[in-house]
Amino acid sequence: NAGVTQTPKFQVLKTGQSMTLQCAQDMNHEYMSWYRQDPGMGLRLIHYSVGAGITDQGEVPNGYNVSRSTTEDFPLRLLSAAPSQTSVYFCASTNSGGSPGNTIYFGEGSWLTVV
Amino acid sequence: GQQVMQIPQYQHVQEGEDFTTYCNSSTTLSNIQWYKQRPGGHPVFLIQLVKSGEVKKQKRLTFQFGEAKKNSSLHITATQTTDVGTYFCAGPHTNAGKSTFGDGTTLTVKP
Question: Quick one: three-class SS letters along A25-44?
Answer: ECCCCCEEEEEEEECCCEEE
User: Strand, helix or coil at A83?
Assistant: helix
Q: How many helices (H) and strands (E) does chain B have?
A: 0, 11
The count of CB pairs under 8 A between chains A and B is 72
Segment A48-98, tens digit of pLDDT: 999 999 999 998 999 999 999 999 999 999 999 999 999 999 999 988 654
Chain A residue numbers touching B90 (CB-CB < 8 A): 98, 104
The answer to whether B63 and B72 have CB atoms below 8 angstroms apart is yes
Which 8-state DSSP code applies to residue B10?
E
pLDDT at residue number A99: 54
Distance CA A45, CA B1 (A): 14
pLDDT at residue number A15: 98
Chain A residue numbers touching B44 (CB-CB < 8 A): 106
A16: left (phi > 0), else alpha (psi -120 to 50), else beta? Answer: left
pLDDT at residue number B34: 96
Q: Which of B48, B95, B101 sits opposite A103 (nearest CB)?
A: B48
Q: How confident is the model at residue A14 (pLDDT cuts 50, 70, 90)?
A: very high
Q: Looking at the complex, report in whole angstroms how far the Cα of residue B103 sits from the nearest Cα belonging to chain A.
A: 4
Distance CA A74, CA A48 (A): 9
Q: How confident is the model at residue A41 (pLDDT cuts 50, 70, 90)?
A: confident
Q: Looking at the complex, report in whole angstroms how far the Cα of residue B59 sits from the nearest Cα belonging to chain A.
A: 20
Interface of A with B (CB under 8 A): 31, 33, 35, 40-43, 45, 48-50, 56, 58, 90, 94, 96-101, 103-109
Chain A residue numbers touching B101 (CB-CB < 8 A): 35, 42-43
Q: Which of B33, B95, B102 sits opposite A103 (nearest CB)?
A: B33
Rounded mean pLDDT of A23-36?
Answer: 94
Q: Which residues of chain B have pLDDT under 70?
A: 93-97
Q: Do A108 and B41 touch (CB under 8 A)?
A: yes
Indicate the average pLDDT of chain B.
Answer: 93
